[in-house]
Amino acid sequence: MNSTLFIIGVIGNIISVLVFVSPIPTFWRIVRSRSTEDFEAAPYVLTLLNTLLWLYYGLTKPDGLLIATVNGFGAVMETIYIVLFLVYAADHAKRVKTAKLVAALDIGFFGAVFAATTFFIGGLDMKIVVIGLICACLSVFMYGSPLAAVRRVIASRSVEYMPFFLSFFLFLNGGVWATYAILDRDVFLGVPNGIGCFLGGIQLVIYAVYRNSKVGCQSQGTHEASYDASTSLLSSYAGRHGQNDVSTHV
């Protein structure tokens, strides 16, 4: 691994770690109130699946150390979040729903991918291709999930439900890892992060267009508290509005 690639990978790790720890204010609130309130577990369950798959990809691919390390950290953080979600679930039904999601996706789906690529696919190159395709498809889906907020912004002419830091870090994270992928000639890493950078850029443009709109200014005072909470990058926004946590870190 050349020095330029290593430096960009380290920068990508730092940005991704910031995104991974962004739900901490949300879960501190959950612990203090001893309830998940209206927050949804699905974003964290999906993010755990994403990090597990990219961790597996990084461990399988030669010179994939920087991909593996950041997603290993992410998998640990998302596991902690999900455990807290199970402990402090607002009701039994939500706890059961969360447990079923974890069993189906994080255990079932990831286990199936691991078993299939370990026992039924021969050759390292083919294994990397299969794992990379699965990772890329899931990452594209997660990068695209905030676009639902774009429609709402255009319809309401208010950026209340599209926090700036969400779009900014999607753009920055995607751009850094896309650059890393280009230098490393990794199409599976490059395509989803290139798309993520592009979609993040679109959201920044939309934010710039509507941030000073009259509707947005009128609602700013009313919703100041909820907006400030949502600037914890990803988690509060995702949990409150039912969007997927777009922590597509790598």
The CA distance from 144 to 80, in Å, is 25
How confident is the model over 5-37, as pLDDT tens digits? 999 999 999 999 988 888 888 899 999 999 988
Is a pLDDT exceeding 50 seen at residue 233?
Answer: no
Share above pLDDT 90 across residues of the chain, in percent, rounded to a whole number: 50
Average pLDDT over residues 59-68: 92
Please give the average per-residue pLDDT across 123-138, as a whole number. Answer: 94
pLDDT value at residue 1: 61
Domain ranges of the chain: 3-213
Query: Could you report the per-residue pLDDT of 176-227, keeping only the tens digit for each?
Result: 999 999 999 999 999 999 998 998 888 888 888 888 775 544 444 434 333 3
Least confident span in 93-97, 109-113, 137-141, 217-221: 217-221
**What is the pLDDT averaged over residues 62-82?**
94
- pLDDT of 72 above 90: yes
